[in-house]
Amino acid sequence: MSSSVLPSFVRKLFSKYLLITNTVTCSSLLAIGDVIEQTREIRRNRKNESHASKHHHSYNWKRTGRMACIGLALGPFNHYWYFFLDRFLPGTSGKMVIKKILLDQVVAAPFFNGSFILGMGLLEGKSLTENLDNFKSKFPTLYLMDWCIWPVAQAINFTFIPSYLRVTYVNFITLGWDAVLSFVQFDMTPKKDKDIKIL
């Protein structure tokens, strides 16, 4: 899409204020992804309970706020990462796209997913031991899921999406991924944590 056909305020967001735009979008969509996952959890719990034992389920807005905070912290990383990739590996040839995907999966994906799990644990007040145990139990699953979803999404990103829209594209694909992050963090609990499961 040519920038000339975009409204002036949109052009400003994706030029002068691109870092802010990318960071706020990342934060907002992490929060929305958590709301989607909480909605699924609440509906599942209501369905599994008998009519006699049903009690009120409500959204945990503190949990959603923590997700948004993680987005604010990781948004700048995404912003600068894609600029780095385009400068380090310029072009959209098949060879360059494959290199970008591999670098993204080997460097960015472990950093983003690991930072998410450890950052959420920190915001939740987990001890260092609890946080590391949580990381060890959840990171392998999350990283495997990442490999199932992101290479295809990034092939489209690196081949067809203009560089200034890369993070925005990723953020919107991430809306579904953020629900996965929320599921892994809050609903896929290790056996040790079953008694302290967060809803």
What distance lies between CA 76 and its chain's CA centroid? 13
Per the domain annotation, does 195 fall within a domain?
no
Per the domain annotation, does 36 fall within a domain?
yes
Contact 57, 45 (CB under 8 A): yes
pLDDT in tens, 16-33: 678 888 899 889 988 998
pLDDT in tens, 66-77: 999 999 999 999
Stretch 87-92: mean pLDDT: 90
Residue 44 has pLDDT above 60, yes or no: yes
Per the domain annotation, does 126 fall within a domain?
yes
pLDDT in tens, 95-146: 999 999 999 999 999 999 999 999 999 999 999 999 999 899 989 988 998 9
For the chain, what percent of residues have pLDDT higher than 70?
Answer: 81
Per the domain annotation, does 31 fall within a domain?
yes
Per the domain annotation, does 198 fall within a domain?
no
Per the domain annotation, does 162 fall within a domain?
yes
User: Which pLDDT score, from 0 to 100, does residue 105 have?
Assistant: 96
Instruction: State the Cα–Cα distance between residues 64 and 22, nearest whole angstrom.
Output: 19
pTM over 0.85: no
Per the domain annotation, does 84 fall within a domain?
yes
Per the domain annotation, does 196 fall within a domain?
no
**What confidence tier does 15 reach under pLDDT thresholds 50, 70, 90?**
low
Task: Provide the residue range defining the domain that includes 16.
Answer: 7-188
Alpha helix (H) residue ranges in the chain:
8-13, 18-48, 61-88, 94-103, 109-123, 128-160, 166-182
Q: How many domains does the chain have?
A: 1
